[in-house]
Amino acid sequence: MGFLELIGLRPAEAEQTGPSEASQTIRKITESLDRMNPEQAKYIASFAYILGRVAHADLSVSEQETREMERIVQGLGGLPEEQAILVVQIAKTQNTLFGSTENFVVTREFNGIANRAQKLALLHCLFAVSSSDQVISTTEDNEIRKISSELKLDHRDFIAARSAYRQYLGVLKETKTRP
């Protein structure tokens, strides 16, 4: 199974654009991802999708959130920048198109393949993505809490990760500006 199939796209869907130079580049990147260990590809795909889930929680993915997702995915998977960009773009698109029906399914899949340390790392990455635009909205915070629960992490794990990003919590920023 190829990388695109792991995240819900068939290779034929990726090739519908025709033989342009851009599609040749995408094909090369996709082929290199297809050569990746299937378990590693599945892990990276689900990790990226969950990052996109939080970035899209407020129905808007900022440029800062996208760049942070790319940076995280590149470091996590040891991917070249262009592959990380592709993975993030696919994950964002899939989340936008199928988020409401796929969110729990993808997170449950990640829960099954990740160990505790990987789940905690994801939790911190979720806060990093949502704080990249200098504020974690209440909607994003609630989505991270939901993901933490779906990953079977303890509430204290959520609070510990959240505390590291306290200065970005929108709910606290709103409180400071009230008379």
Three-state DSSP class for residue 169: strand
Arch. (CATH architecture) of 3-177? Orthogonal Bundle (1.10)
pLDDT band at 99 (very low <50, low <70, confident <90, very high): confident
pLDDT score, position 27? 64
pLDDT score, position 5? 56
Contacts of 171 (CB under 8 A, 6+ apart): 138, 141
- Tell which residue, 112, 159, 157, 128, has the closest CA to residue 104: 112
- Contact of 21 with 111, CB cutoff 8 Å: no
* Residue-wise pLDDT tens digits, 149-164: 999 999 999 999 999 9
* Residue-wise pLDDT tens digits, 112-136: 999 999 999 999 999 999 999 999 9
Domain-wise residue ranges, the chain: 3-177
In 7-115, which ranges are continuous DSSP H helix? 11-14, 21-34, 38-55, 63-77, 81-113
* Residue-wise pLDDT tens digits, 59-98: 888 999 999 999 999 998 888 898 889 889 988 888 888 8
Q: Model pTM?
A: 0.79
* CA angle in degrees (0–180, nearest 5) for 150-68-121: 40
